Amino acid sequence: MRQKIAAGNWKMNGTAPALTELDALAAGLPATPPLVIVCPPAPLLIPAVDRASGIAIGAQDCHTAPSGAHTGDISAPMIADTGASFVIVGHSERREDHGETDAAVRAKAEAAQAAGLCPIVCIGESLSQRETGETLHVIGAQLAASLPETISAENTVVAYEPIWAIGTGKVPSVAQIAEVHDFIRAELENRYGPDVGAAVSLLYGGSVKPDNAAAIFEVDNVDGALVGGASLKAGDFLPIIAALANS
């Protein structure tokens, strides 16, 4: 059975008072919860790790190098040192705001693995790529160039986040999600072998909300979600977690 994962990406939101959401999450988890991960901004990693109960903590980015002259950056070993266990790499906002290439994303994912972290590698097409029928081609190229050389179910998670669905309230149809997730699964099985390819968790991200989560989690090869806005408040994130637990 693949690991079900509900991951929350707080993006650049939250100062210390937001940590109370972790208490509310812990208090409201279902009896048999999926793996729940919260990725707060970097300054909150240490207090989040200290405070979280039954919730894993992840960062939102890491540098490719373990240390060095890179002002403002944070390395994977530094993240591991906080007690966090995951790191998002290749989010479309990083690719866009910071010009991150597939090669950089792959180097970050491999740096994360080397530090003992599990990277959550994000891929996804733009609206114009979808409209011109390039989605699977784009996803295939991103997978080929962004994923580490070797992966396992324990050290890699893949998140499909169509850029046009992020923060927009627009969600692909279940058929569209199924098409891409089936394609990703097949690509993973091809490249890494059927056992590894079948075991890696695939998350969907982009406007996942309490009212659409259950339908998304019904889709084959959707093993969970990477949630932005609706992960900021436990009152929104908990119903999504419950929907995943019941799927």
Ligand X SMILES: O=C(CO)COP(=O)(O)O
Residues 129-168 contacting ligand X, CB under 6 A: 161, 166-167
Chosen residue from 111, 143, 147, 227 binding ligand X by CB under 6 A = 227
**Which amino acid would we find at residue 96?**
E
Is residue 208 at the binding interface for ligand X, with CB under 6 A as the rule? yes
Q: Shortest distance, CB of residue 79 to ligand X, whole angstroms? A: 17
Q: Which stretch binds ligand X (CB under 6 A): 73-81, 131-139, 145-153, 225-233?
A: 225-233
Stretch that binds ligand X, among 16-24, 185-193, 200-208, 239-247 (CB under 6 A): 200-208
Q: Which is nearer to ligand X, 142 or 207 (CB)?
A: 207
The answer to whether the CB of 49 falls within 8 A of the CB of 83 is yes
Cα–Cα distance for residue pair 32/19, rounded to 1 Å: 23
The neighbour count for residue 41, using CB atoms within 10 Å, is: 16
Number of CB atoms found within 10 A of residue 183's CB: 17
By the rule CB under 6 A, 172 interacts with ligand X = no
List residues bridging with 158 in a β-sheet.
Answer: 121, 202
How far apart CA 30 and CA 148 sit, in angstroms, is 33
Total of residues contacting ligand X (CB under 6 A): 14
| Residues acting as catalytic residues | 91, 161
Minimum distance of ligand X from residue 191's CB (angstroms)? 24
Residue 22 in contact with residue 32, Cβ under 8 Å? no
> Which of 75, 82, 8 is CA-nearest to residue 46?
82
Within 56-75, the residues that bind ligand X by CB under 6 A are: none
- In 3D space, the residue among 108, 121, 88, 196 whose CA is nearest the CA of residue 152 turns out to be 196
| Alpha helices (H) in 125-233, listed in sequence order | 127-131, 135-146, 174-192, 194-199, 213-217
- Our CB check for ligand X shows the closer of 7 and 29 to be 7
Tokens 């991951």 -> residue: 7
Task: Pick the binder of ligand X from 205, 221, 222, 237 (CB under 6 A).
Answer: 205
Binding-site residues for substrate: 9-11, 167, 207, 228-229
C-beta of 92: minimal distance to ligand X in Å?
7
Residue nearest to ligand X (CB): 228
Of 78-86, 140-148, 182-190, 228-236, the window that binds ligand X (rule: CB under 6 A) is: 228-236
| Sites of contact with ligand X (CB under 6 A) | 9, 91, 161, 166-167, 205-208, 226-230
